[in-house]
Structure 1
Amino acid sequence: MAPDPSGDRLAHASCGLASLREEQRGLIARQPPASLGLPACRTACQSRKRPDEPTACLYRRLRRHDIAGVLATLTDDCVVTECYGPVYHGRQGVEQWMRAWFGAGGSVDGWEITSQANAGETLVMEWIFSCTWQGEAATFQGATIARLEGEKIAYLREYATSAPLYDWTGTWRD
């Protein structure tokens, strides 16, 4: 599996795929997600022809609370497993969760993909996720394993770190 070359990300910075590291290095000027219209995202996403794009599009659309856009990236019988336990079956299950979560004030504040790779129809990516739930902001690192059927996500499973990461120096933190 080879990581995504940063040059490919730069070509589609307007679609939101460019990483924060590229932005910090001054390689791109990142637009805030609210400034991106759905047609612009769809156009950029469709032009990419990359196997990992459905998952990246799903994350961007979650950031914008674009329920229809998220559902368009999934197969009818998809299975989505969140890192904290819930499993959603089919587009209808995902839609029910999204409407309930966003309706209760949940907000996806950021979802930066920090690395990604693919082998055929299997995608793997690491990310940094930020959200607000019940008035409390949270950020954590995690990873996703996804499988595609055609250009749609059929299976997606997320994993999250359970503690802040640190460089081990001979002793463990409590």
Structure 2
Amino acid sequence: MSERDFLPVRIAVLTVSDTRSSADDRSGDTLVERLEGAGHVLAARGILPDDRAAIAARLRSWCADDGIDVILTTGGTGLTGRDVTVEAHRDVYEKEIDAFGTVFTLVSMNKIGTSAVQSRATGGVAMGTYLFALPGSPGACRDAWDEILAPQLDYRHRPCNFVEIMPRLDEHLRRK
């Protein structure tokens, strides 16, 4: 069997925070360093406040952009009143990747014990684009990238990965 070649993926990073700016966005920086270090392309980057409608609008806009394959958000996945990123993601999803949150919780349990129950990390698909909502800490972003996203966004990963099914994510929209 022949070895597969690496296929770079175009990834957008959105930080959701009422207090962060580009000067102190450590979680966004962590994701950018990791994705570029893996050979992927930073397709877009932004920061938005904790506003459900604004987050959902940006997600929809980026999903409609043919130059973006994956959207990673960081922040707003907790339990407080301002944490609305998960709801914004679910406003956009066509399909939720239920196991993403479960696997993220398992990874987090190994790092922070039962405090992992306070995260609502989620993943889904919309308009042929993958979307993942990650907590707002650099450590959580590192864990999600290193333990889940890096292998799943690598076409060479076996037995299966997200990249190999990208061309089929929007097959339901094509003419038969």
TM-score interval (norm. to shorter): 0.3 to 0.5
Taking structure 1 as the reference length, the TM-score comes to 0.34
Instruction: Compare CA radii of gyration and give the structure with the larger one.
Output: 1
Q: Point out the structure with the larger strand share.
A: 1
Q: Which has the higher contact order (CA 8 A, sep 6+)?
A: 2
Q: Point out the structure with the larger helix share.
A: 2
Taking structure 2 as the reference length, the TM-score comes to 0.33
